[in-house]
Amino acid sequence: MKEEDIVEIFKRRTRNPFRPRSSHLIQTLFTHFKPFSSVGESLICGEAKYLDKRILVIGQEKPSLEKLRNPENAKKLNLGMLSADEHSQILGILKQARSMDPNELVILCLIDTYGADISMTSARRFQAYFISHLIYEFLTIPIRTISVVIGEGGSGGALALQVTDRRAQLEDALYATAPPESMASIIFRDDSRIREALLISKPTAQDLKKIGVIDQILPAREDIKDVKGMAAPIEHYLQRSMRDLFRTKIKKLLEHREKRALAYGLPRHHGKLHELKLLLEKPIKKFFYSRPPDIRVVTYDSPTQIPDDYAGSEPLELNQEYIRCGQERSPKPSGGCGRLIKLEDYLKNYQVCPYCNRQNILDAGGWIECIADPESFFEINRNLTAESLLNHDTITQYYREFLDKQRSHFNESLVTGEALIFGQSRPSLYFHSGRSFHRWGHCQLCLPGRYYPGRTPCPGDLYRSPGYGIQRV
């Protein structure tokens, strides 16, 4: 394939509606494929015989052009975005695979998705929970695994199936932490900045092979509609990978997976001097939660300053910090009861008004106070910036100018650290500030095989309930 601009690759090839889908490749690669019944049409899963071995195939199905012309069919396929129930079904398949003979079985994942389903329905049915546990399952399952990014690999929906023993990507496929439109909206507040998003995310096969995310780049044919041409290098890679994997013991593969996973996300700084710096910093680095910088605090120095409309049952204390319900972040009332609440009590109640149950979005520090055991959180990588995470040549001129305009008093869009949860060590905690969930969320103390409506909450469930703040159940 001739060299093209990354935006041209994205528009003309990766997102081409004529591009072969997982179903086309499965039909070409396996003559006796037995599909399993799926809970959704964005997921293709089944079993076949290949090289005298059983092979479990898990594929993400984007709608073909014929389906896109029919809105009902395109809606059923959900544009290739797997729902929480479909991710749950994959977990069930992997659970069954654990009971099979590892010397006669291999798992193949075909990745082609905009990302995981972002609907509120999937969120309420533990979408993030199932994705995280799929990653864990692929890292620990004692079965040989192979993955190929055949089109677009977007977000956690792709990552959930990609952490395998052997990982390939077609040279005109793209694989990133988010679709470029989403990344542009998140970073630049402008979904038209697709070029900048693609340049920053480094989603090409060449970029990902350099940093070890994939092992092999598979050639792509000029004719985007050539199913057999696309299937040929995948078949060659599958045969070679299977022969290689079955010459390696499962124990060695598990060790390699762990080593590879731990190598992700390492800081660019390394060496003895950097390790010594971290060792010296650790005893004095702690997380001290203070009020969010955008909360409006009210204090009164004398009784004459107390507003005439104050009708609280308790007298106000002078020089005490209060917030007014409904005006926590703006002088203009936006609902709430208007009562004055001690700032300390308000933060202890996780920003829920004790009088009218009005809730506010928690910042990262608030969630840490809620989820982690008291005084157990140890913050690492404090004061991270884009420059800390990206190489100099990755930050485009537009991105650098944009960053300079975004400096503010907020410094916790991402907080990382270690903590205890119910006395159990959690070596890696990541808190993204700016969003709050108001329904069930998991602390990952249990792992149900799949979600069952109405199941009993596990001890690690959290619920943010009006009037009760956030409780551990």
160: left (phi over 0), alpha (psi -120 to 50) or beta: alpha
Strand partners, 45: 58
Q: For residues 34 and 22, what is the distance between their CA atoms, to the nearest angstrom?
A: 14
Whether residue 2 has pLDDT greater than 60? no
Rounded to whole angstroms, how far apart are CA atoms 30 and 17?
23
* Mean pLDDT (whole number) for 60-65: 88
Tell me: the pLDDT tens digits for 350-359? 889 998 999 8
Average pLDDT along the chain? 81
SS3 445: coil
**pLDDT band at residue 442, thresholds of 50, 70 and 90?**
very low
Q: Do 194 and 179 form a contact (C-beta atoms < 8 A)?
A: no
pLDDT at 68: 76
Q: What would the mean pLDDT of 373-381 be, rounded to a whole number?
A: 78
Give the containing element (helix H, strand E) for 191: none
Instruction: Tell if the pTM clears 0.85, that is, is over it.
Output: no
Take residue 368 and report the two structure tokens written for it.
Answer: 């840490």
b/e burial code for range 399-421 (CB count within 10 A of at least 16 → b): beebeeeeeeeeebeebebebeb
When pLDDT is averaged across residues 209-219 and rounded to a whole number, the result is 93
Q: Is 74 helix (H, G, I), strand (E, B) or coil?
A: helix
Nearest residue to 165 (alpha-carbon basis) of 230, 59, 58, 244: 244
Domains of the chain, first to last:
6-263 (3.90.226.10)
Each residue's pLDDT tens digit, 218-240: 999 999 999 999 999 999 999 99
DSSP codes, 419-435? EEETTEEEEEEEEETT-
445 — pLDDT class (breaks 50, 70, 90): very low
